[in-house]
């Protein structure tokens, strides 16, 4: 049996879907209203799933304060920002939620390793109907 | 007994809390991260509550297609926009969710009147934890 | 200060929107797919709100077992039925959710009176996006 | 038009339904498993609804940090406690959720008055299916 | 790392659990109220999970309009129908949600393949408490 | 393709995080308010996921009444209890939700085997934001 922990976070950010290699008409054709020049935004819900052995004393996978500190430090790099403008790793990229999920997984992975736990999955939802999951590939 | 209908909609928009009469430091003190220059955004959930007599033939308060058409026309004036920049009625105002709820109520009220129903309430949520309600005052 | 209790129930039923005074083409024009001859169905979520003074001994508004018994007896008259066929009060009527909410309010009202509490509201949702509320009019 | 704000909080507490004037058998008959000697507990979700005019500068009903501070101070008097043992106002009373909602309303009311806003309603849910609402009576 | 997309849909349908090889009394014993002759129905929530490489230009797994078109074409074969009567592949079968989930997976699988993505899972919920998952077996 | 069933249950319990090998100050440092002497409690939501072949007659994985009977028998060993006091297997242990999830998995596993189905996962949530998953390790 394995034990995992899933914990929810959220952040607010603005973004605009826009390919700088294309002109406005072509961006509008591909991304529709999501390419409006002044951008729009979302309440992003983030579900972080980690696993690891139980600490024999506390009988917990991880101290939640430690996990929160590490996740919030990553979220602070994207929260209250315009994603494809203010986040260096995503500058010039399409700020799709696929890319947001990958970005968060890549930033969180070394932090959770440092805590002695394994990052299994980062799931990002823009709405109740849609979610994008960056998941560790099976070994 | 009265019969009411509540129906949920949503829109995505960017915004920045910012008082143009104050300097940046003062805006930062009051609005914190919500005054970041490039803005942020939300998934706004909108709950519209209307009432009225049942149509004797259809035994409905209102045809939902008609209601949707009228609500979506109002939401299109704010969706995929930067609220305090692109929405004329809110330009130069604080784009608080209080003001967003009031704006939507004021724009929807004549439209629902035209449909022969009464707009009771517009409720706007930025997150699962917070909602702002613009409600018709008791006569 | 007043104290109220809201409690959720649910039932499953089939229904077909159909006005027997109109022909099939006209029903199709008004009700669309909802008039398909073999019907369709819903998971109806029902929210019952009651109020009353606290019992001085139990310090409860009502014993929940008593409330459940009374609500479930009413729901049993419509659950696992085809609404406009099997429910006598709605036979020949349009089985709109407006009418379902009114039906449940009218059936529940004498039962809750018998329990010494006041039925304030019956709210019926077919989906997360839509709900119909039959509410006691202000005196 | 009026503007209201609803905001969700939560707390964890233990409780036991038990009338000290009755013997164990009678308590068991009335409260069932809820009178088990070592108690049980709940994740209590608390929805606080306030109203008031918009501050002309911030265009908000209330600064959320101020509201949180005032609500959390009240919740701290009951959170992580055994309700009918550790909360003086409820000692010797039945720790029904009806009483918990009333207790929270009574404690919050002077605090929100101090903030210049009106406490309209405190809603306490033990589960997704049940909620108890202490509401300001119409004037 | 792999990236997946989960997207929610829903449909309304009527059904009756009934084994034509058994008599009414035996059907009643096995399926209870779910075998009532006029049927009942559900609001079926459908969660579709797909995976695939990101398109290098759009940086998306799939255009959501394309996915919606393909899922809705499949849902149209069952929505607003009486499942075990109107859906040829399920005629004479038990219209259990297990079978509904399998049916949707089998119909969707070639469509998502045509879009160049992999259908990982179809999850069908009748209520908040119950869901049935048809999942691609590990290779 | 595999078919799984997920079904939600819940129970109410009290608990206190406390390591009897440590003194009160040290327990307070590690577990904070969760080590308050009179304990606190939660509404525990439990999601049970099982798999198995469809019964050729009923075309179901398992009769839900049978599954409920077996899950509820296990939940009765912990519901309305103080976990680390009243549940023998957890006495003297830390009543973390990690341990609650493991306990439920271990108790349920032989019961579901007896029903001819495989217990895949037990997920326990204290709040909307946190869940702990005890999952069968891949063979």
C and F: touch, per 3+ CB pairs < 8 A?
no
Spatial distance between the Cα atoms of D65 and D72, rounded to a whole number of angstroms:
10
Say yes or no to pLDDT of C139 above 70.
no
Could you give phi then psi for residue B130, rounded to 5 degrees?
-135, 135
Task: Give the dihedral of Cα atoms F67, F68, F70, F73; nearest 10 deg.
Answer: 170
DSSP state of D82: B
C15 catalytically annotated? no
**How does pLDDT run across F51-66, given as a tens digit for each residue?**
999 999 899 999 999 9
Q: Between A and F, how many residue pairs show a Cβ–Cβ distance under 8 A?
A: 55
E and A: touch, per 3+ CB pairs < 8 A?
yes
Q: Give the closest-approach CA distance of A111 to chain F in angstroms.
A: 19
For chain C, say whether B128 makes contact (Cβ under 8 Å).
no
Low-confidence ranges of chain A (pLDDT < 70): 139
Q: Interface partners of F (3+ CB pairs, < 8 Å)?
A: A, D, E
Pairing relationship of beta strands B2-15 and A130-135 according to DSSP bridges: unpaired
- Tell which residue, C113, C115, C100, C133, has the closest CA to residue C11: C100
Per-residue pLDDT averaged across C75-95, rounded?
Answer: 95
**How does pLDDT run across F17-31, given as a tens digit for each residue?**
999 999 989 999 988
Pairing relationship of beta strands B130-135 and B118-127 according to DSSP bridges: antiparallel
Contact D107/D77 with Cβ under 8 angstroms?
A: yes
Interface of E with C in 31-90 (CB under 8 A): 33-34, 36, 38-43, 79-82, 85-86
Give the E-state strand segments of D37-102 in sequence order: 40-51
Give the E-state strand segments of chain F in sequence order: 2-15, 40-51, 118-127, 130-135
Here the tokens at position D27 are 């308590």
Spatial distance between the Cα atoms of F47 and B27, rounded to a whole number of angstroms:
46
| Contact flag C1-D130 (C-beta cutoff 8 Å) | no
A and B: touch, per 3+ CB pairs < 8 A?
yes
The residue from E26, E40, E80, E89 that is catalytic is: E80
- Residue F44, classed as helix, strand or coil, is strand
**How does pLDDT run across B24-60, given as a tens digit for each residue?**
899 998 889 999 888 999 999 999 999 999 999 999 9
pLDDT in the model for residue F37: 86
Is pTM beyond 0.90? Reply is yes
Q: Interface partners of E (3+ CB pairs, < 8 Å)?
A: A, C, F
Give the catalytic positions of F in this structure.
Answer: 34, 80, 126
pLDDT in the model for residue F128: 85
The residue from D80, D89, D98, D135 that is catalytic is: D80
Cβ neighbours of residue A131 under 8 Å, at least 6 residues apart? A45, A123, A124, A125, E5, E6, E7
- The sign of the torsion formed by the CA atoms of A107, A109, A113, A118 equals positive
**How does pLDDT run across F71-128, given as a tens digit for each residue?**
999 999 999 999 999 999 999 899 999 999 999 999 999 999 999 999 999 999 998 8
The number of residues making up chain C comes to 139
DSSP state of F88: G
Here the tokens at position E135 are 């999942």
- The sign of the torsion formed by the CA atoms of E74, E77, E83, E88 equals negative
| Contact flag E1-A130 (C-beta cutoff 8 Å) | no
- Residue F54, classed as helix, strand or coil, is coil
Here the tokens at position A69 are 């500190």
Nearest to F6 among E93, E99, E131 (CB): E131
DSSP secondary structure, E25-78, as one string: HHHHHHHGGGG-TT-EEEEEEEEEEEE-PPPTTT--SS-HHHHHHHHHHHHTTT
Spatial distance between the Cα atoms of C32 and D20, rounded to a whole number of angstroms:
61
Per-residue pLDDT averaged across B57-86, rounded?
Answer: 96
The residue from C26, C40, C80, C98 that is catalytic is: C80
Say yes or no to pLDDT of E1 above 80.
no
Chain A residues with CB-CB distance to F105 below 8 A: 1
Cβ neighbours of residue E93 under 8 Å, at least 6 residues apart? E84, E99, F59
**In DSSP terms, which residues pair with A42 in a beta bridge?**
A13
Can you tell me which residue has the tokens 């991304």? A31
Select the residue from E16, E98, E122 to test the F interface by mutation, using most F Cβ atoms within 10 A: E98
Cβ neighbours of residue D92 under 8 Å, at least 6 residues apart? D20, D84
Q: Give the closest-approach CA distance of F67 to chain D in angstroms.
A: 22
The number of residues making up chain F comes to 139
Helix B64-75 with B97-114: angle, nearest 10 deg: 140
Neighbours of C97 (CB within 10 A): 22
| Contact flag A2-F137 (C-beta cutoff 8 Å) | yes
Share of chain E above pLDDT 90, in %: 83
Q: Between C and E, how many residue pairs show a Cβ–Cβ distance under 8 A?
A: 73
Contact E51/E67 with Cβ under 8 angstroms?
A: no
Give the catalytic positions of B in this structure.
Answer: 34, 80, 126
Spatial distance between the Cα atoms of C3 and A76, rounded to a whole number of angstroms:
42
**How does pLDDT run across C48-72, given as a tens digit for each residue?**
999 999 999 999 999 999 999 999 9
Nearest to F3 among E19, E130, E132 (CB): E132
Spatial distance between the Cα atoms of D6 and B132, rounded to a whole number of angstroms:
6
Nearest to E3 among A128, A129, A133 (CB): A133
**Burial class for B38, CB neighbours closer than 10 Å (0-12, 13-18, 19+):** middle
**In DSSP terms, which residues pair with C10 in a beta bridge?**
C45
pLDDT in the model for residue A16: 94
pLDDT band per the 50, 70, 90 thresholds, residue B139: low
Share of chain B above pLDDT 90, in %: 83
pLDDT in the model for residue D89: 97
State chain A's mean pLDDT as an integer.
94
Q: Give the closest-approach CA distance of B68 to chain D in angstroms.
A: 23
For chain C, say whether E28 makes contact (Cβ under 8 Å).
no
For chain A, say whether E3 makes contact (Cβ under 8 Å).
yes
- Tell which residue, E81, B7, E77, B61, has the closest CA to residue C33: E81
User: Which domains are present in chain B?
Assistant: 2-135 (3.30.479.10)
Kindly give the confidence (pLDDT) of every residue in chain D, 139 residues in length, as a single tens digit, with 9 standing for 90 and above.
789 999 999 999 999 998 999 998 999 988 899 998 889 999 999 999 999 999 998 999 999 999 999 999 999 999 999 999 999 999 989 999 999 999 999 999 999 999 999 999 999 999 889 999 999 987 6
């Amino acid at each position: 049996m394995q034990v995992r922990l899933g914990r929810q976070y959220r952040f607010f950010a603005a973004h605009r879907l826009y390919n700088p290699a294309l002109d406005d008409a072509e961006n509008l054709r591909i991304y529709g209203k999501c390419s409006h020049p002044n951008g729009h935004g979302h309440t992003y819900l983030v579900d972080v799933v980690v696993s690891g052995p139980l600490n024999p004393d506390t009988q917990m996978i991880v101290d939640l304060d430690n996990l929160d500190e590490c996740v919030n430090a990553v979220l602070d790099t994207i929260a209250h920002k315009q994603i494809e403008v203010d986040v260096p790793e995503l500058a010039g990229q399409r700020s799709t939620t696929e890319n947001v999920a990958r970005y968060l997984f890549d930033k969180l992975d070394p932090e959770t390793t440092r805590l002695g736990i394994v990052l299994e999955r980062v799931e990002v939802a823009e709405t109740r109907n849609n979610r994008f999951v960056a998941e560790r590939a099976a070994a």
